[in-house]
Amino acid sequence: MPEGDTLFQAAHRLGRALTGQTLTAVSGASPRIRSAAGRLQGATVEQVRSHGKHLVIDTSAGLSVRTHLGMTGGWAVYLAGSRRRFGGSVRIVLQTERATAVCTAAPDIDVDSTSMIDLALADLGPDLTGDTFDTGDARRRMAERRQRTVAELITDQTVMAGAGNVYKSEVLFLVGIHPETDPAHLTDDDRGRLIDRSRALLLLNRDRPRRSTTGNHGRGRELWVYGRVGKPCRRCRHAIESAWLGDVERITYWCPDCQPRAT
């Protein structure tokens, strides 16, 4: 599932292939991409960056490509001369003499001036995978947001950018907080632990080929609770539970023994 660590890796991979290269061809599925293709063609890729779940490709034409991969999107890089198999629904193709970058199945993709792309991302919280991270800003944002549950607070990208469904469940388990806890009941120490653990896990996994929150990389042993409904908790052996929570319902997993409901 694409979260901040996935986007960090994708940006790094695309950056190595595209930065400093001239775009020789650009194509895409939407009229907006097709209308911008002529201005992008011939431009140099200046940098590829990520912020939370967004990936941005900046060019010398003053235009940037921004993608949000949602649940199913992905980026792939094909070196010149390699056999290309574009699986899924192709959204945009960026070609240079050296490589071809293909984004498939992304639900949210835009091409606009770099300044407008930056403006669209301005409300996002600090990037959990970034080399610099303003913990104080994240604490302030977390204290100010009015969400119904702490599960929704963790995935609120305007608080801190990059945590999604997997990290939400894993972080809440590791700090021992029930996902349906009212954020108004969190102490400042609780907020600090949630932010610090989120930051630590995403940094730990941003350079790993396969995500692990348990420290175990054996297949099926990488996660504490996510995707393990009905299975025994790795700590206390109680059965893991799950529910669909939030205004936009997303599945959340927890251990009822390790994460008791607040009374």
Pair (80, 177) in one structural domain:
no
pLDDT attached to residue 87: 63
Residue type at position 85: R
Same domain, 58 and 158: no
Tens-digit pLDDT profile for residues 77-136: 998 877 776 666 999 999 999 999 999 999 999 999 999 999 999 999 999 999 999 999
Would you please indicate which residues are annotated as catalytic (active-site) residues?
2-3, 53, 250
Residue 166 has pLDDT above 90, yes or no: yes
Residue 177 reports pLDDT greater than 90: yes
Residue 30 pLDDT greater than 80, yes or no: yes
Q: Are residues 22 and 62 in the same domain?
A: yes
Strand stretches in 10-161, DSSP E? 25-28, 45-51, 54-59, 63-68, 74-79, 90-95, 99-104, 108-113
| Structural domain contains residue 77 | yes
- Classify residue 128: in a domain, yes or no: no
In a domain, 127, yes or no: no
Asked, for residue 248, whether it belongs to a domain, the answer is yes
Among residues 188, 198, 183, the alpha carbon closest in space to that of 146 is found at 183
- Report how far apart, in Å, the C-alpha atoms of 248 and of each of 155, 166, 225, 244 are: 11, 16, 21, 9
- pLDDT, tens digit, for every residue of 132-150? 999 999 999 999 998 999 9
Domain tally, the chain: 2
User: Which pLDDT does position 263 carry in this prediction?
Assistant: 67
Tokens for 192, please give them. 């600090």
Kindly state whether residues 165 and 218 are assigned to the same domain. yes
Question: Does residue 147 fall inside a structural domain?
Answer: yes
In the chain, DSSP finds a helix count (H) and a strand count (E) of 7, 10
**Beta-ladder partners of 56:** 49, 66
Taking Cα atoms as reference points, which of 148, 142, 155 lies closest to residue 190? 142
Phi-psi category of residue 34: left, alpha or beta, with phi > 0 → left and psi -120 to 50 → alpha: alpha
CATH of the domain at 81: 3.20.190.10
Mean predicted lDDT score pLDDT of the chain = 94
Q: Is residue 166 part of a domain?
A: yes
Q: In which band, very low, low, confident or very high, does the pLDDT at 217 lie, cut at 50, 70 and 90?
A: confident
Token duo for residue 58: 């900046």
Token pair belonging to 36: 């911008």
Joined tokens for residue 127: 């990037």
Q: Are residues 89 and 159 in the same domain?
A: no
Q: Same domain for 26 and 83? A: yes
Nearest Cα neighbor of 150 from 161, 142, 158 is: 142
> Which residues are CB-contacts of 73 (< 8 A; sequence separation ≥ 6)?
2, 67, 91, 103, 104, 105, 106, 107
For the full predicted model, state whether its pTM sits above 0.85: yes
